[in-house]
Structure 1
Amino acid sequence: MMVITGLGVVAPTGVGLDDYWSTMLAGKGGIDRISRFDPSRYTTQLAGQVDDFEAADYVPSRLLAQTDRMTHFAFAGADMALKDAGVDVAAIPEYDRAVVTANAVGGVEYGQHELQKMWSGGPMRVSAYMSVAWFYAATTGQLSIHHGLRGPCGLISTEQAGGLDAVGHARRQLRRGARLAVTGGTDAPLSPASMVAQLATGLLSRGMDPTTAYLPFDGRASGYVPGEGGAIMIMERREDAVRRGVERIYGEVAGYAATFDPAPGSGRGPTLSSAIRNALEDAQIAPADIDVVFADGSGTPELDVAEATALTEVFGLRGVPVTVPKAATGRLYSGGGALDVATALLAIREGLVPPTAHVEELAPDCTIDLVRAKPRELPVRHALVCARGVGGFNAALVLRAAA
């Protein structure tokens, strides 16, 4: 049995568990006009920014200039999670310590700054660290070096689904013999070059009102708002956690599955429902056992309908409460799935399901029981987290309350 014993959160709605959770329960949003650069020339001008974050509080000074913001978030999340778990990493053999993270965007902000130096001052102005700071696996590598995680290391790049896939892969490494896994996902996609790439998908919202720009399953939905941040978690075998005297177990990773959608024009439909059923089978539970679903919530009408249809196929018409907390933060790409896992574990602990911010009236074809306006008191034994990544990635994760 693989359990989560530590959580670290860096989100537009709060840095640290307490700030993040209280803000989410209050239904407050973290979406606003982009201030990290002038967005006036872009059709999308809103984002979920992490404003109250000082990288120097978490990142060794010599590494600040060598790493991108995506890695700074991961340093912070890992530091919080390890402290939360109360684990003495040094007491675990170094080759039994695993790290698996997810990233979708890479260190594009770092890369852009270095290219600007080259254009203005020539190639000798470019930092040697650009060769690694931009890379998707930089976060896994830096965490491995900093914490001595010399066991199995991995990087997942499946866009929004990546945060769930990383957790699933970390569980696999524990089953194969690792004793501790640092896992989750972070992304920092808020730079001019990154925005150009994101806009190419055609999925981003052009709304200028932070309260209506990103409305999953709402009849007014017109795309999503990007965001930055994510979550890092500590996963262990239950017997190891109990043996070392852990104070708190947030929950068990009971089931996981991933699927890939067929190519457009193939005549075959999306496969999210298959991922959900496979995750339930892996957890050895029935659909009726799920108490709440943390949905992907694209905010794009066609994709919202597809997800609502998948949920109805598995759970029946309004058969299970559904929530999309990321409506308050924007979609954090690989950080979003990981943040949803952390949020679901907090919901299990507190018996409270956070609301889907700002959604008022569901789209006609989205016949789901969406938690809106205020938190819903609900004993949560099993939570399902769903995520979809651009390109056809689907992932589903079942979390179970600690016995």
Structure 2
Amino acid sequence: MLDTPAPEFLWTLYCQLRRRHFALTPEDYDALRQALRAGFGWDSRETLRDLCCALWGKSQAEQETVAALFDQFRITSWELPEIESSPVSSTRIQPEQREQPERPAQEPHEAIVTQETKGGLPPIFIAREELPESHFVLVPQFPLTYRETAQAWRRMRQPVRQGPAVELDLEATIQRRCRQGVAAEVALRPRRTNTARLLLLVDCQGSMTPFQHVVTEVVAAIQESGRLERVEAHYFHDVPVEGTNKAVLAPLSDQLYPVLDAVLPEIEPSTEGFLFDHADLLAPQAVSEVLNAYAEGAAVVLISDAGAARGQYDIYRLLDTVAFLKALKTYTTKYVWLNPLPQKRWRKSSAAQIARHVPMFALDRAGMYQAVNVLRGQPYMLEKPI
């Protein structure tokens, strides 16, 4: 163990990460100090940076942020005290001594005169001005973070005991010993594993283009850290199905903003459409094939603005959506809708009508927790269930 204190700039780095909403606690900073006392991270600047990334970055994006902030600090080489013995190795720890090239004394900035522009702007003088040498680290700020998304979907659990019997069954062990009257072998049982499956149907391109990055972050967090048995993501544009029989809308032709309540029983379920494996909408698969493979008994989440981004009321989009929801209901009753726009933006658009038929929530922290609660079985009142 080394008694050398941790470099002071690490505390500054820790505070900067906290200001960027990293879920770090004093225990995380103490873990870095313990690693330094154990002899890790002293070999070079790169090893110390990798150590910080490993302890404080829980995802690839967070590790890139830690590395970028770390590189902003000017770190001179530091020396370890001579140690006679080490629990890891009998040799003396001698970190590499890097020679820092001597920098010439900074001369005052000469006056820089810009060429006169067409607008006749005056020249700019920056003599005797200290220019900052640090760089900005731009971190995307989404309505919800990677960690918040992962924590929300870890609550989506369907525990089932399966696999080899490796867990002690205390109650069965006691009953066996009482029944036999001797010290019998302990009873074992399989561990509980989460068998919850999730199908993500994501709208992309068009009006969803401004939300592409946040939706990609949400999908990645669910797939990588949701701890579900299986997560499948498929993509569509505007609506998953098209070509629903529009003759059912004939009685509503005299209405400016028609509502489907009167013709709702006449709308037939439809799976006539295509879903795609990637957001570039290549390699199409029939909707029926995807639902047969992944929707049976699983939870389904649709992510789309449902027309709220443009504020349009499209009766044909509403018709196709209801036809698809009817088809989806034959596979599973656990489905919700996440809208990247807040609820106040749904008014006077197709989204407001779709929200009458399916549980729809905003794509933020509160909305995502509500969606998970509904998928877990919490009752939710709909104005007009399908």
Give TM-score, length-normalised by structure 2: 0.29
Name the larger-Rg structure. 2
Larger RCO of the pair (alpha carbons < 8 Å, separation 6+): 1
